[in-house]
Amino acid sequence: MAETYRKELVQRIIKNLLDIQLLRMVQAQPVWGYKIKKKVEANFQIKLRHGALYPMLNSLEQKGFLTSQMQTTGGRARKVYTITKSGEEYLQSYYAILKDQIEDVDLK
Amino acid sequence: MAETYRKELVQRIIKNLLDIQLLRMVQAQPVWGYKIKKKVEANFQIKLRHGALYPMLNSLEQKGFLTSQMQTTGGRARKVYTITKSGEEYLQSYYAILKDQIEDVDLK
DNA sequence: TACAATATGTCCACTATGAGACATATCGCA
DNA sequence: TGCGATATGTCTCATAGTGGACATATTGTA
Average pLDDT over residues B51-66: 96
What's the Å distance between residue B99 CA and nucleotide D15 C1'? 35
Contact A102 B95 (CB under 8 A): yes
Per CB-CB distance under 8 Å, the chain B contacts of A3 are 93
In the prediction, which pLDDT does B7 show? 87
**φ/ψ of residue A60, rounded to 5:** -65, -30
Count Cα atoms within 13 angstroms, Cβ side, for A65. Answer: 23
In the prediction, which pLDDT does A74 show? 80
CA dihedral B99, B20, A94, A90 (to 10 degrees): 150
In the prediction, which pLDDT does A2 show? 62
Structurally, chain A folds into a number of domains equal to 1
Is B108 contained in some domain? no
Among B11, B16, B15, B49, smallest CA distance to B33 is for B49
Mean pLDDT of chain B: 94
Q: What is the CATH number of the domain that holds B82?
A: 1.10.10.10
Cβ atoms B13, B46 nearer than 8 A: no
The per-residue pLDDT for range A43-63, each reduced to its tens digit, is 988 999 999 999 999 999 999
What are A's interface residues with B at a Cβ cutoff of 8 A? 1-6, 9-10, 12-13, 16-17, 24-25, 28, 43-44, 89-90, 92-99, 101-102, 104, 106-107
Is the C-beta of residue B39 closer than 7 Å to nucleic acid chain D?
no
A91 pLDDT more than 90: yes
Per CB-CB distance under 8 Å, the chain B contacts of A19 are none
B69 pLDDT more than 80: yes
Q: Which residue is nearest to nucleotide D8 (CA to C1')?
A: B54
Contact A102 B99 (CB under 8 A): yes
What is the rounded distance in angstroms from the CA atom of residue A80 to the CA atom of residue A31? Answer: 5
A73 pLDDT more than 90: no
Our measurement of the distance from residue B21's CA atom to the centroid of its chain's CA atoms, rounded to an integer in Å, reads: 2
3-state secondary structure A10-37: HHHHHHHCHHHHHHHHHHHCCEEHHHHH
In the prediction, which pLDDT does B73 show? 86
Cα–Cα separations (whole angstroms), residue A48 to A29, A44, A56: 19, 10, 12
3-state class of B45 per DSSP? coil
What percent of chain A is modeled with pLDDT above 70? 98
In the prediction, which pLDDT does B75 show? 83
Average pLDDT over residues B34-63: 95
What is the rounded distance in angstroms from the CA atom of residue A6 to the CA atom of residue A14? Answer: 12
User: H/E element holding A91?
Assistant: helix A85-103
Chain D nucleotides close to protein (CB under 7 A) are 6-11, 18-22, 26-28
Name the band, by pLDDT with cuts 50, 70 and 90, for residue A1: low
Average pLDDT over residues B32-44: 95
Q: In terms of residue numbers, what domain contains B27?
A: 2-102
Q: Which of B90, B98, B106 sits opposite A5 (nearest CB)?
A: B90
Average pLDDT over residues B14-40: 96
